Structure 1
Amino acid sequence: MKMRLLALALLWCSASLFAQEYFPKNDGVKSKNNNYTAFTNAKIYVTPTQVVDDGTLLIQHGKVVQAGKSVTLPKNTVVIDVAGKSIYPSFIDIYSGFGVEKPKRAPANGRSAEYDASREGFYWNDHIMPENAAVEKFKYDDKKAKELRGAGFGVVNSHIQDGIARGTGVLIALNGEGDDSERILDDRSAQHFSFKKSVAKRQSYPTSLMGAMALLRQMYYDADWYAKGNVDTKDRSLEALNENKSLPQIFEGGDKGNIIRADGIGDKFGIQYIIVGGGDEYERIADIKATNATLILPLDFPDAYDVENPYEANYVSLADMRHWNQAPANPKILAENGVPFSFTTHGLKSTADFKKKLMKAVTYGLPKTKALEALTTVPAGILGKSSEIGSLQNGSYANFLVTSGDLFDENTTLYENWVRGHKNVINDMSLKDIRGAYNLTAGGKTFALSVTGESGKPKAEVKQDTVKLKSKFSYQNNWIELSFADKDENNYRLTALVMDTSDNIEGKAALPNGNEGSFTANKTAPFEEKEKEEKKEDEPELVPVRFPNIAYGYDAIPKAENTLFKNATVWTSEAAGVLENTDVLVKNGKIAKIGKDLNAGGAKVIDAAGKHLTAGIIDEHSHIAALAINEAGQNSSAEVRMEEVVDNEDKGIYHALAGGVTSLQLLHGSANPIGGQSAIMKLKWGESAENMIYDNSPKFIKFALGENVKQSNWNSFSRFPQTRMGVEQVFMNYFQRAKEYETRKKSGQPYRYDEEMETLVEILNGERFISCHSYVQSEINMMMKVAEKFGFRVNTFTHILEGYKVADKMAEHGVGAGTFSDWWAYKYEVRDAIPYNAAIMQRQGVVTAINSDDAEMIRRLNQEAAKTIKYGGMSEEEAWKMVTINPAKLLHLDDRTGSIKEGKDADLVLWSDHPLSVSAKAEKTMIEGATYFDLEKDRQMRESVKQERNKLINMMLKEKVNGGKMQGPKMKKKERMHCESL
């Protein structure tokens, strides 16, 4: 069998001997070097799992001929004995910007402007640029290549890191010799995407993450439409996108949430993206594994925070402290859960930090084999290049590392990085290790010489009678140069060639008296590394991951419990009214029974005597728990979805639960007349964003009128509309287009699938409901007339602070109202607001709710409801309905929640006092039978948070004492979103 393999290898090599170059040589008499090179007596990692001890690696013409235990060497072989050394495949970085200049940022010009695409013959959106090819922008950077080779890399996959659809990458061998004809291994290696729009383009759409997602979806629909021959004109962007769809598709996610978002888009269109992670995947490992995606992992673990100053320490959130502690274990956790990944230098401030970060991952439990796979075979497999790179299999490129030993030992030296058979010296392998202690004699005096540091880059210290002397030392090509001044400031200059035959060093000396003499340095002790056990210390201690992994996150996601509330004052928000001394039984997440003296039947019993039990508060208009509020790039953004940008880690969720809120509508903002689709959520603190969304959720969308949409509050004059008249025309135009779209769709003719039009058709057909931002009565009337003209009704006017003027017309139209209790005069169009507004609308037969639109107000909506008693004389029960059953009706959820009724979801709040009182506290907030806020548990968590912060601070102080790299304290504040937030 060995002879057969050798014969095949020799046949392959002999074939290469007769291969002819297709261009002339006019640079003198030269011939191709057909010699073989053999590295013998090495420990060879052919692959991470195929290791050969005392093996031989045979290469020729930049490729591996054979690697194994018994390799027959041809006569024309140059033999290099690397006994005691190890050989590994060179690393591969498949997410790089190497040699490709990033486009310069276009100058800013105003806010929320709408620009047309700057190109003709390409896709309508400038941020979609699949026609870009990195190979056309590539320029070899020898300085950067040297840095990467020094870190162990032999091949990088580079692309233009700009835009949403970024075009194709180029696969580069980091070979300093030769030219690009040798370096470029593949000029169309992968197709690249991200959620980030181009910095070089000024087209405003998209302005948000949800806009980028919608644009990507529409791009794929349009590419399919184009591929089927339905377009008469040429679109070079879509042609390139379709042409490159068979390549690996690499998506820059950047964090755990974006991995899931990108994978969702891929799943919809039958694409399995390779996704760049963010290092926080461990926080949602089950969700990450469920994507089935291969990840590209940055190793930019955060440095410890300098928390020595107790005041500055308060700037650092517990979430950031935890991430510092937990992030290095991320690769290990992914490996344990079977999630495939490769490593990248992307995100590192310096390539020189790569090995240190890699070693940290290994220290935190990542198996060495998995680490090596992540640098070699996995990235090669991602690119479909396993036969060429990432291993030392026969026929692969001769890209390999020669090291002093185990690659993952911090004391191992990387000597050489061969790329396509070309040697690149990182540390001189022939350099003798001279580290140790010596007695140095020169000019009749004796000194103590200590040589420490790395074997390839040693450093020296000279002492005279225990006094450290000023000295200068260098060691290159086995030549020592040492100069120092003794205690009497006499200067000595020494030089010597280190011989392999002796541990002692002898050489020439220029003595203080000007004479030339000699010196000797007799070795008295070998170099010893500092106590390895002491340096390793204990296994890194990790604090537990919480759900969510921030302050006040839970050890485990709350589960539903069968619960019996005994002897409560029950506010049903139903015809039954308020029931005294009544029991409520919760079973399997539902309200099972309401009555007196109910049997617990094994359920947990809560004594609610003297307390009040209500349905959970529902906020019809909220902007908490969102990563973005407005897609402001166009006057209609009906295609964007708030469900896709839910921030399940917003601490505002926990605060809202503490105020008794169990459900809310997460609304798009009011930057444009036709906004985005809503998210109807239950505030299940600790759950994923997806699990917070109501199942079979009613479909809603945000519309807006007034100052915001005509952009009167900032200088932006290029986007229609600029007047209230223009706002009406936007609605008329878009609904007419939607009618025409549906007519074509129903005709059976081919049609371009348009997510924006699909959403508007749902409105026309009564399948999606409008919640409309509104203030002025004239516009309220206008919106109702537009709806009636197109055969539908507006579901809810929100804000609606002039609703009292047109309440009768609203009741006739059948529209509800979500309003504030007493906000007024905060901008010009609110000048006629009155606090009696809610009561007047309710008495006219308009279903009216009190909402927050504010991260602070959502915590006290019970008190906002109480204000309607003072302003309008509402009864207590009717006031309470304004934050429970009324918003449930507005959201079409009243059959599921909003009141205490048998069969409904057990969304309940146990109050310490009358729920409309300023003294009332939510003692327990329950959603579907699971307790998501508990006042007593909150007190315990406050103490737990304090102790954990103290523990992590002490860990970071210890890191600083041990010389670890630190970063300054940083305060990160989440913006509180409102309708106009961009």
Structure 2
Amino acid sequence: MLKNYLASMAILLSTSLFAQDYFPKNDGVHTINKNYTALTNAKLFVTPKKIIENGTLLIQDGKVVASGNSISIPKNAVIIDVEGKSIYPSFIDIFSSFGIAAPTSVSSSRRSNQYDASRSGYYWNDHILPDQHAVDQFSYNAKEATELLKAGFGIVNTHIPDGIIRGTSVLITLNNNQGNQYRILDANSGQYSSFQRSKTSKQAYPNSLMGSMALLRQVFIDAEWYSSGHIDTKDLSLEAFNENKNLVQFFDAGSRANIMRADKVGDAYGVQYVMLGGGDEYERVADIKASEAKLILPLNFPDTYDVEDPFLSSALTLGDMRSWNQRPSNPKILADNGITFAFTTHSTKSLKEFKSNLLKAIEAGLPKEKALEALTTIPAQILGKEQIIGLLEEGHLANFIVTSGDIFDKKTTIYENWVQGNKTAFEDINKKDIKGDYKVTLANNEYTMAISGELSKPKIEIKQDDQKLKAKLTYKDDWVQIAIASKDSLKQEFIRIAALAEKDRMLKGKYILPNGSEFPFTATATEKEADESKAETKTEDTAPLFPVTYPNKAYGFSEMPKAETLLFKNGTVWTNEKDGILEHTDVLIKDGKISKIGKNLSNGKATIIDATGKHLTAGIIDEHSHIAASAINEAGQNSSAEVTIEDVINETDVNIYRNLAGGVTSIQILHGSANPIGGRSAIIKLKWGESADNLVYDNTPKFIKFALGENVKQSNWGNGRFPQTRMGVEQVYIDYFTRAKAYDALKKSGKPFKTDLELEVLAEILNKERFISCHSYVQSEINMLMKVAEKFDFNINTFTHILEGYKVADKMVEHGVGGSTFSDWWAYKFEVNDAIPYNASIMHNAGVTVAINSDDAEMSRRLNQEAAKTIKYGGVSEEEAWKFVTLNPAKLLHLDDRVGSIKVGKDADVVLWSHNPLSIYAKAEKTIIEGVTYFDIERDKAMREAIKKEKSQLINMMLQSKNKGAKTQPVKKKEHKHLHCDSVENEI
């Protein structure tokens, strides 16, 4: 073993001799120091798993030469005895912007006037910046570096936090003693991406999360096409993107939902991103694990809410309250599930808060070994640099911290942080630690004495009979001087203590009474005992961790409900089929399907539901909705066919639950109406508690949103984007379909072609593989679009809104288009002045397939009553009126073979109503999708009480937390913003 060790030392020595410094020395004599440094008698954390008691760390030339127990120390070694101290590898932060100036945000209006890229020779979109290199913008900040060093960090991976594709990062050591030639470990250590636009550009596209996702997909496609030599022009961005593709790929996701979205993009193009988390990954930990992504976790736990005011506290949502309770357990839950993660200081307000929250995570159950891995070995592994950083084995950089003890103990002092063998000292390593709790007797009086704070600036608190006394402490050269004021503030008398700090936190000296009498003084800190008693108290007082529900907010399921065999007995069944409305009829649901309809049905395994006096119907289907989405409009271009609402489904939107309470089982989430050609739809079932992907229909029909009228020509926010007139809207359609036709012909020719996501979608329309639902009002535009469609040999599927449909109903029948309208909305803008409440009945009587839609989160849970209005306005029969919100929207969505009526073999999407469903008294008692009960009115009542109780428990816990001195934040009421056709705000 000694032979091998000496051989390795010889190799290292020879390497260092030939690794000559080529920089000239003009400021004096520069003999190279080849001495070793040996830190001995340390508790040495070589790795988080390999811990050596009384170990030696031998370093030379900024690297570890050896670490262990039986290390032969060379003669030319400086020996530092650190007995009683611990040595850890310095921490690594791989999601940093250290040394990078914050991007200067350009001022911009709600929508920018700039539609073209500002850079010539680069990609057509300003937010794609793979050609950026952080090393080119990097400027070492010694002051900021010192703060990071003081917190235990030795290396940062820094990038430019701007743009959707942000370019490459640079791996930097926090070496205050040497220049960048030593600090830069890797000038291109990874490529960073995000969903966020560049702050430095006014280019309008993309302005939404779904637009960012579509743009990322197009970049991958364009880069591959470019690399194959099919583009003659220069594109420096795509060249850089292709050069960077073999680097570690980092993604600034920032939330559980965005991790899954980014993973979807990455999977499509063979990229496994390392994701920046948001702290909410525990809510769907199985999905996070399935993504196989490695995570970078910020430690930004919510402060305690100040809930003393009962009126303000009532505005707190259960979801926010649970977040305060649950988020500190996120690292533990991820560790328990075998998910790899590193920690970052990103998004924490201060390094002090980072340390505090790290300790909170450990208190919440994260093993210290896992915490140390997340700060050392794992970030090194993610970077692919585990051979040189992250641990203290031979050949690794001499990056380590020297501490007074357990690095994860609040009272532990970091004495020194060594980076590449260069020491930065914060406290005198030889200074004895006097922090702790002491019990002393002075002149027959008992005192408690607590010393805390930094080693170089200790603070003292002294109490006698639980009364706090004024006291002053100075500590220098191992001598402690304490002056204690008497209880009587009028009599300024002092007891003075002079004591020498010895080992094991013992103070030995004398104390002097106000009368000058001197007595021996000895005190020993009882820190260990005090800590143990505190630990016991903490165990008893530990706040309970509230369980996660699906979704993790009010009305969520503690366990996802399963499909059941259900037998509804003796109900009034609205079949929506030729049998019409059946009295005193049974319906059997089995395996998620409608199994039998009839009288006197039986099934031994079924749960019996007495439907006597009640009504069973198919679930309501909303053809036009904007709930359950994080974005509605991609308004950056006049066509956004490349985007899809499926990318931005928000499965936690409480409106899903509210819709279920209104008997709604399926909706089409439509893109908004900011542009003539909008984005693709998401057709979902309201499976409350399921993941976003599990809401989407299997083999869903393909739909896209088009729009006409005031919104697309920007009547209310004109900014120069084409089109500005209704005539221009028609030309947009003709132009795009002409291009799509040529694109489709090239694709079918067998010749090489570059995939264009936008034209792919439009070609699907030409090939009758995708259907158009078009926002419309005025008859002239309705006629126009039907003519454009006929010119290109396809049909419009649905005109939605269509408040002037009654004027063109005959033409609609001839074209074969359906109408999805409001029951009685009118006069809310100029182009709906001619709307009438008879619109639905007139179109229906003319032979148009008519649906009543909501386009509104509030109306969507009252669609049964909206359908009933057509009985009053036009004399539509009850059965036909009911079809307006069930079977007819199913037909318009091409789903009537699966839903929309009660028929054997169809999906068991049914609602049990307390009264006739068209009555204002009707309540949905059970809403069932594919045999699973997602809403039950009795469960709802019980949940209201459970929510009230849980909120009370959490409020009490917050009050206790505040009383113990926790930092608080004010309660701010969050308004749930309902999205509509013209909404352009979105959540990224």
Paired residue for 1:385? 385
Distance change >3 Å, CA 446–CA 719, structure 1 → 2: same
The match for 1:569 among 548, 568, 572 is 572
User: Is 1:34 matched with 2:37?
Assistant: no
Q: Which amino acid aligns with 1:587?
A: K
* 2: CA distance, partners of 1:923 / 1:446: 72
**SS of 1:643's equivalent?**
helix
Deviations 1:917-974 (A, max 9, x none): 0000001000001111001110000001011111111111111111122211122232
Is the Cα–Cα contact under 8 Å of residues 151 and 354 in structure 1 kept in the other structure?
Answer: no
Pick the aligned partner of 1:669 from 648, 669, 672: 672
Q: Deviations over 1:139-178 (max 9, x none)?
A: 1112221221122111111101111000111111111111
Of 635, 640, 643, 1:640 maps to 643
Between the aligned partners of 1:338 and 1:107, the Cα distance in structure 2 is 44
Q: Which of 688, 691, 709 is matched with 1:688 structurally?
A: 691
What's the counterpart of residue 593 of structure 1? 596
Are the structure 2 counterparts of residues 665 and 451 from structure 1 closer, same or farther at C-alpha, using a change threshold of 3 Å?
closer
Call closer, same or farther: CA 1:630–1:925 in 2, change over 3 Å: same
AA at the equivalent of 1:806: V
Q: Relative to 1, partners in 2 of residues 1:811 and 1:944: Cα closer, same or farther, differing over 3 Å?
A: same
> Hey, what's the Cα distance between the residues in 1 that align with 2:864 and 2:105?
48
Partner of 2:838: 836
1:599 match: secondary structure: coil
Q: Distance between the aligned counterparts of 2:131 and 2:211, measured in 1?
A: 21
For the pair 1:650 / 2:663, whether they are aligned, the reply is no
> In the alignment, is the contact (CA less than 8 A) between 2:56 and 2:69 conserved in 1?
yes
Q: In 1, Cα distance between the equivalents of 2:662 and 2:444?
A: 82
1:617 aligned residue (611, 615, 620):
620
| Partner residue in 1 for 2:775 | 773
SS of alignment partner, residue 576 of structure 1: coil
Q: Residue 755 of structure 2 corresponds to which residue in structure 1?
A: 753
1:18 and 1:113 mapped to 2: Cα distance? 59
Instruction: Give the C-alpha shift of residue 525 in structure 1.
Output: 4.7
- Which residue is 1:179 aligned to? 179
Aligned partner of 2:162 in structure 1 is 162
Deviates further, 482-491 or 611-620: 482-491
- CA 1:572 to 1:464, structure 2 compared with 1: closer, same or farther past 3 Å? closer
- Letter of the aligned partner of 2:700 in structure 1? S
2:372 is aligned to 372
RMSD, aligned α-carbons: 2.4
* CA deviation profile, 1:768-826 (whole Å, cap 9, x unmatched): 00000000000000000000000100000000000000000000000000000000101
Offset of residue 427 of structure 1: 2.8
Measured in 1, the distance between the counterparts of 2:976 and 2:430 equals 56
Whole-Å Cα distance in 1 between the matches of residues 873 and 448 of structure 2? 89
Moved more, 362-371 or 575-584: 362-371
* Identity level (%): 62
Q: Which residue of 2 aligns with 1:522?
A: 521
Of 962, 965, 971, the residue aligned with 1:963 is 965
1:499 Cα deviation (Å)?
6.1
Asked if the contact 1:623/1:854 (under 8 Å) is kept, the reply is: yes
SS in 2 for 1:388: coil
849, 860, 863: which one aligns with 1:847: 849
In 2 relative to 1, CA 597–67 (structure 1 residues): closer, same or farther, beyond 3 Å?
Answer: same
| Corresponding position of 1:224 | 224
1:43-442 alignment, distance < 5 Å:
43-111=43-111, 113-435=113-435
**Would the aligned equivalents of 2:171 and 2:187 in 1 still touch at CA under 8 Å?**
yes
* Contact 1:564/1:600, CA 8 A, preserved across alignment: yes
User: Which whole-Å deviations, capped at 9, do the CAs of 1:346-392 have from their partners, x for residues lacking one?
Assistant: 11101112222111111111122111111111100110100111011
Question: What is the match of residue 459 of structure 1?
Answer: 459
Q: How far apart are the structure 1 equivalents of 2:506 and 2:568? A: 84
Q: What is the DSSP-based 3-state SS (H/G/I as helix, E as strand, rest coil) of the residue aligned with 1:636? A: coil
Alignment of 1:727-876 (within 5 A): 727-876=729-878
Q: How far 1:9 sits from its partner (Å)?
A: 2.5
What's the CA shift string for 1:218-262, capped at 9, x where partnerless? 011011111111111211111111101111000011111110110
Distance 1:230 1:749 in 2: 12
Contact between 1:591 and 1:901, CA under 8 Å: does it hold in 2? yes
Matching residue's letter, 2:955: I
Q: Secondary structure of 2:422's match? A: coil
Check conservation: 1:415, 1:425, Cα contact below 8 A.
yes
Give the TM-score normalised by structure 1.
0.96
When residues 812 and 427 of structure 1 are mapped into structure 2, their CA distance, relative to the original with a 3 A threshold, is same
How far residue 439 of structure 1 moved from its aligned partner, in angstroms, is 7.8
Local SS of the residue matching 2:349: coil
Task: State the alpha-carbon separation in 1 of the partners of residues 913 and 619 from structure 2.
Answer: 11
Do the aligned residues in 2 keep the contact of 1:253 with 1:277 (CA within 8 Å)? yes
| 1:566-609, Cα deviation, whole Å (9 max, x unpaired) | 11111011111101111111110001111111122321111101
Work out whether residues 506 and 524 of structure 2, in 8 Å CA contact, stay in contact via their aligned partners in 1.
Answer: no
Alpha-carbon separation, structure 2, partners of 1:520 and 1:759? 92
Distance of 2:899 and 2:462 partners within structure 1: 80
Distance in 2 (alpha carbons) for counterparts of 1:809 and 1:464: 94
Structure 2 partner of 1:23: 23
Query: Is residue 62–residue 398 contact of structure 1 (8 Å, CA) maintained in 2?
Result: yes
Letter of the structure 1 residue corresponding to residue 311 of structure 2: Y
Give 1:105 deviation, angstroms. Answer: 1.1
2:111–2:204 CA contact under 8 A, matched in 1: no
Count of residues in correspondence between the two structures: 975
SS at match of 2:411: coil
Name the counterpart of 1:935. 937
Provide the rounded CA distance (Å) in 2 between the counterparts of 1:30 and 1:161.
40
Amino acid at match of 2:633: N
Q: CA deviation at 1:3?
A: 2.4
Q: 2:548 aligns with which of 526, 541, 545?
A: 545
The CA deviation at 1:115 is 2.4
1:630-653 Cα deviation digits (max 9, x unpaired): 000000000000011011000000
- Which structure 1 residue ranges, 5 or more long, are not aligned? none
Q: Relative to 1, partners in 2 of residues 1:779 and 1:479: Cα closer, same or farther, differing over 3 Å? A: farther
Counterpart residue type for residue 332 of structure 1? K
How far 1:750 moved relative to its partner? Answer: 1.9
User: Residues 508 and 118 of structure 1: is their aligned pair in 2 closer, same or farther, counting only changes over 3 Å?
Assistant: farther
Question: Per the alignment, do residues 653 and 792 of structure 1 end up closer, same or farther by CA in structure 2, a change over 3 Å counting?
Answer: same
Name the SS of the counterpart of 1:47 in structure 2: coil
Contact 1:17 1:34 (8 Å CA) reproduced: no
CA distance in 2, matches of 1:611, 1:565: 10
**SS of 2:246 mapped into structure 1:** coil
State which drifts further: 297-306 or 849-858: 297-306
AA aligned to 2:975 is K
Q: Report if aligned partners of 1:438, 1:523 keep a CA contact under 8 Å in 2.
A: no
Q: Deviations over 1:469-524 (max 9, x none)?
A: 65544435546576787756769899989565895567999x999xxx99988234
Alpha carbons 1:35, 1:76 under 8 Å: kept: yes
The one-letter code matched in structure 1 to 2:389 is I
Task: Name the SS of the counterpart of 1:889 in structure 2.
Answer: helix
When residues 474 and 751 of structure 1 are mapped into structure 2, their CA distance, relative to the original with a 3 A threshold, is farther
Alpha carbons 2:448, 2:464 under 8 Å: kept: no
Residues 723 and 77 (structure 1), Cα distance of their counterparts in 2 relative to 1, 3 Å cut: same
Q: CA deviation at 1:743?
A: 1.6
Contact 2:572 2:614 in 1 (8 A): yes
